[in-house]
Structure 1
């Protein structure tokens, strides 16, 4: 549909070069989230582990009863079509991480298949790392912001300028998250200490020291995720900005100065000079 060369967008532009393509705001926001969650292998592993844990418990009534014994809320699978709703999948794990770990430990007493046993060990290993807690804290904040923005722009009375303002607000909020990295790190370390998990980054062959691992987490995980969201929001909503810039004077004429109003009307007329006469500027001023 949106293909620039062979899609419907391209066909319409052949007939009228003034057409402006702008996709559904909710769909676009979901695409930004998808790109962000696949921006680094740590994010892919994190969401994969959360989904894997849901699959492990939900595949057996006996396992689900064990989960209910420890968690006050239910787990949810990761939505494939509505990324902003993934807050429902992340939130229970983030709020009841220690309880989830206890439920996982009790599964060891069951007669699991070899495949289920391997999955259990993989989940337990990941959820015993400080990096998991840090990702839980970061994604809870990011997904909450994205989900709240999605709820606003999908409202039946939300106009394009409301969508634009909320996307701009989301970009600013994401920037604040970037500046709060140290606070998120401190918060995650306190959580780790309270539930008996090491608050140090995991060193490995490629990152021999804890300092190297922390630097990798900051540069190649945290900043990559933040940059992916910011660049995605800026790039994917460019057409929305263009539409609002061109048309906003039609609904904001009472709030614009005479000079700004006439300038916006002239810009609009020049864009659509084959359809709109130069009288538009005078008519718009008279309307005000």
Structure 2
């Protein structure tokens, strides 16, 4: 059995070299977020601020108590290096409690006697009061919220490849729409939060060479602000969103390759409705995938005959792929169909139920 299972894996890798990396759709989403965060230097620094805030308050019970006394709803969370979609919890805390977090940091600046802690608190206050931080926080909250919602749905034990593809296609459409409309809406939200905290909602202008102005020259402050805003949109916002679309599309294409091989077995209604020509094309493609030289995991001729009979004998009720396999095992006269379903159900899984923690890596 071990040798045969290895043969299945080897033949699948010949079809798609990245096939075994498709095992967990949730992991694919985490890889997408990782690609996004590492595509932009500012994004890496952005998450570093959240980790520094948590580290500061978690360094002593005294400072943690100060935090709890002033922030009653959500506490700061440490960043997870593997479960990127779970970082929504860290961003959510600051997103909806930025004024309270800043107040606690300001209190530490005044009351703390430790020079290192005082310096770190002052540095974090300065980082939080940067308008770019607010804008990045709104953008990442929207991104992480969308990914987290899809990830939770993909962890349902009833999730199948068709539903997985629908979820991936939906989140790609979300990011395509967000690319066109997200920056303007994020700007409006960030300005609202900044104004509530009496922070100037403008971008920091990089230091430029100052020269003496002529008497007839106008102040170009607005032009520089527009330039910094456009630079943020292009180099930060569009960079991470385009990376998300590219990464998701790449993983979606891999899912479609699995669907082309196993699709006719996954869906009960589709299996029952296939005509003879469609069934023939499907089982031939399946057989070719798991055929190497003169060795095959499934005899396609026997498989075709069994599938034709199975179409007629399946109960007239909707069944999942697992239920069809159980039906086939109970009947005991569909050995090739049983092999096909076992291959299908052990290769393109979305979540390994027995290893739920692994599926979240």
TM-score for the superposition, normalised by structure 2:
0.70
TM superposition shift of 1:35: 1.4
Q: Which runs of 5+ in 2 are unaligned?
A: 210-220, 292-298, 313-361
Q: Take 2:7 and 2:187, find their aligned partners in 1: how far apart are those partners?
A: 47
- The alignment's C-alpha RMSD in Å is 3.0
Counterpart selection for 1:205 from 198, 207, 221: 207
Q: Secondary structure at the match of 1:90?
A: helix
Task: Evaluate the alpha carbon distance shift between residue 67 and residue 261 of structure 1 in structure 2; reply closer, same or farther with a 3 A threshold.
Answer: farther
Task: Evaluate the alpha carbon distance shift between residue 219 and residue 67 of structure 1 in structure 2; reply closer, same or farther with a 3 A threshold.
Answer: same
Q: Take 1:262 and 1:206, find their aligned partners in 2: how far apart are those partners?
A: 70
Aligned residue in 2 for 1:3: none
Aligned residue in 2 for 1:251: 266
Task: Evaluate the alpha carbon distance shift between residue 16 and residue 101 of structure 1 in structure 2; reply closer, same or farther with a 3 A threshold.
Answer: closer
Q: Take 1:257 and 1:182, find their aligned partners in 2: how far apart are those partners?
A: 49
Aligned residue in 1 for 2:175: 174
Matches within 5 A, 1:4-43: 12-13=9-10, 17-18=14-15, 20-21=19-20, 22-43=22-43
Correspondence 1:58 to 2:65: no
Task: Evaluate the alpha carbon distance shift between residue 276 and residue 11 of structure 1 in structure 2; reply closer, same or farther with a 3 A threshold.
Answer: closer
Counterpart selection for 2:235 from 217, 220, 225: 220
Task: Evaluate the alpha carbon distance shift between residue 226 and residue 260 of structure 1 in structure 2; reply closer, same or farther with a 3 A threshold.
Answer: farther
Q: Number of paired residues?
A: 281
Q: Secondary structure at the match of 2:301?
A: coil
Matches within 5 A, 1:79-228: 79-180=80-181, 181-205=183-207, 209-228=224-243
Contact 2:271 2:311 (C-alpha < 8 Å) held by counterparts: no
Q: Take 1:184 and 1:198, find their aligned partners in 2: how far apart are those partners?
A: 16
Q: Pick 1 or 2: higher relative contact order, CA cutoff 8 A, min separation 6.
A: 2
Counterpart selection for 1:242 from 257, 268, 277: 257
Aligned residue in 2 for 1:231: 246
Task: Evaluate the alpha carbon distance shift between residue 114 and residue 226 of structure 1 in structure 2; reply closer, same or farther with a 3 A threshold.
Answer: same
Task: Evaluate the alpha carbon distance shift between residue 265 and residue 169 of structure 1 in structure 2; reply closer, same or farther with a 3 A threshold.
Answer: farther
Q: Take 1:137 and 1:243, find their aligned partners in 2: how far apart are those partners?
A: 36
Task: Evaluate the alpha carbon distance shift between residue 11 and residue 276 of structure 1 in structure 2; reply closer, same or farther with a 3 A threshold.
Answer: closer
Contact 2:68 2:75 (C-alpha < 8 Å) held by counterparts: yes
Contact 1:266 1:280 (C-alpha < 8 Å) held by counterparts: no
Task: Evaluate the alpha carbon distance shift between residue 187 and residue 15 of structure 1 in structure 2; reply closer, same or farther with a 3 A threshold.
Answer: closer
TM-score for the superposition, normalised by structure 1:
0.86
Task: Evaluate the alpha carbon distance shift between residue 217 and residue 81 of structure 1 in structure 2; reply closer, same or farther with a 3 A threshold.
Answer: same
Deviation readout 1:101-129 (Å, 9 max, x if unpaired): 11110011233544333322321111101
TM superposition shift of 1:43: 0.8
Contact 1:262 1:285 (C-alpha < 8 Å) held by counterparts: no
The worse-fitting range, judged by mean Cα deviation, of 175-184 and 214-223 is: 175-184
Contact 1:101 1:124 (C-alpha < 8 Å) held by counterparts: yes
TM superposition shift of 1:28: 1.7
TM superposition shift of 1:255: 4.6
TM superposition shift of 1:205: 2.7
Deviation readout 1:116-145 (Å, 9 max, x if unpaired): 333223211111011111111111111111
Structure exhibiting the larger radius of gyration computed from Cα positions = 2
Q: Take 1:256 and 1:81, find their aligned partners in 2: how far apart are those partners?
A: 38
Matches within 5 A, 1:264-279: 265-273=280-288, 274=291, 275-277=299-301
Aligned residue in 2 for 1:4: none
Contact 2:54 2:77 (C-alpha < 8 Å) held by counterparts: yes
Q: Take 1:212 and 1:219, find their aligned partners in 2: how far apart are those partners?
A: 11
